Amino acid sequence: MKKILLTTTSYQDTPGEHHDLLESQGFEIVRERGPLDEERMLELAGDFDAFLCGDDAITARVIEKSLPRLQLISKYGIGLDKVDVEFATAKGIPVTFCPGVNHTTVAEHTFALLLAHCRNLCEEVNHTRKGEWTRLTGNEIMGKTLSIIGFGRIGKEVAVRAKAFGMEVKAYDPYWDEAFAESLGVSRANSLDDALGDAEVLSLHLNLSESTRNLINGESLKRVKDGAILLNCARGELVDTQAMVEALASGKLKGYGSDVLDQEPPPPDHPLLSAPGALITPHIGSRTYESVVRQATMATRNLINVLNGEPALAQANELPGE
């Protein structure tokens, strides 16, 4: 009997067809509450035919210890920055993932953060809950310039929504989809500096890699317009935490709306939790009833297909002979 390690909590906690699909296969399923760190993954590794994982630390050591039994890493979601894909590929292990099923949900969350910031939503709700009628003046987003860094699936959905709000949109991505940009009236930033330069709102939608880690740091923040708002529904490690704390404290940035942090879950004294102008949500950008079912069903289908010797719906690595 195939043994599967299931770690993603949104998969486990959300009702939907994915549960029946997984149960129908007769697998032995071991459930853990992820994201698991490397230490816990190392304790578990070696005993499973497949991982159905979220943002657990699937490092080279974990993969090495999982062999020879491990046949597949099925990532629930899109970001593969916690999986050592290169090492998995070298060991002949397919890594599957779920592109194209959560982009609308993450784009909606990006606007939840932006509008909450511009209209002082959390602060005002806290006031009225306490019986206070303290009326703060906000800002509208119509006519403001939004710079999108990473113009992939989510970045494009953010652009669609920004245009509907009447924003000016520019984007930066080394891979440029001119037809899409032209159809929507999105202008192309020629460089990261160009993207950072004249926007009132910046939104990160690129992947985390060694070259993009701390992309937003003390130096790059100098090029951002004073009083801008930065949104991050991608990965916490794209932003240098200390530099962000300083930018918020000095007023260089008016706000940081982020769904992600460099440590998840963060320690209670993580400096961004209490920084002025920081609105942090606990990595719920793709966590809607609609998106979770789509994502979980795709991750489960990827798992079943590969274990049955069939192609996955989406595989992130190419293995020799495939």
* Number of other CB atoms surrounding residue 251 within 10 Å: 11
Round the CA-based radius of gyration of the chain to a whole number and report it: 21
Structure token pair of residue 28? 């032995």
Residue 199: which of 213, 187, 207 has the closest Cα?
187
Choose among 59, 89, 94: nearest CA to 73.
Answer: 94
Q: Which is nearer to ligand NAD, 59 or 286 (CB)?
A: 286
Q: Which is nearer to ligand NAD, 2 or 213 (CB)?
A: 213
Check: CB of residue 260 under 8 Å from CB of residue 283. Answer: yes
Amino acid at position 130, single letter:
K
Instruction: Classify residue 48 as left (phi > 0), alpha (psi -120 to 50) or beta.
Output: beta
Q: Shortest approach of ligand NAD to residue 173 CB, angstroms?
A: 4
Alpha carbons 219 and 116: distance in angstroms, whole number:
28
Of 12 and 66, nearer to ligand NAD (C-beta) is 12
Using the minimum distance from each CB to ligand NAD, give the nearer residue, 54 or 255: 54
Q: DSSP class of residue 282?
A: -
Interface residues with ligand NAD (CB under 6 A) are 77-79, 99, 102-103, 106, 149-155, 172-175, 205-208, 212, 233-235, 259-260, 283, 285-286
Annotated catalytic residue, options 43, 132, 140, 264 = 264
Rounded to a whole number of angstroms, the minimum distance from the CB of residue 168 to ligand NAD is 19
Supply the DSSP symbol for 224. S
Comparing CB distances to ligand NAD, the nearer of 42 and 284 is 284
Q: Is 264 a catalytic residue?
A: yes
Handedness of CA 145, 150, 151, 154 (dihedral sign): negative
The pair of three-digit structure tokens given for residue 303, joined into one six-digit string: 């798992």
Q: How far is the CB of 175 from ligand NAD (least distance, A)?
A: 4
Question: Of the listed 18, 153, 235, 301, which one is catalytic?
Answer: 235
C-beta of 56 vs 259, nearer to ligand NAD: 259
Q: Shortest approach of ligand NAD to residue 99 CB, angstroms?
A: 6
Q: Catalytic pick from 103, 205, 270, 283? A: 283
Q: Which residues fall within 8 angstroms of residue 34, CB to CB, at 6 or more apart?
A: 7, 8, 9, 53, 54, 55, 56
Tokens for 107?
């784009």
270 is catalytic: no
Question: What are 175's two structure tokens?
Answer: 């891979």
User: CB atoms < 10 A from the CB of 94, how many?
Assistant: 22
Residues assigned a catalytic role:
235, 264, 283
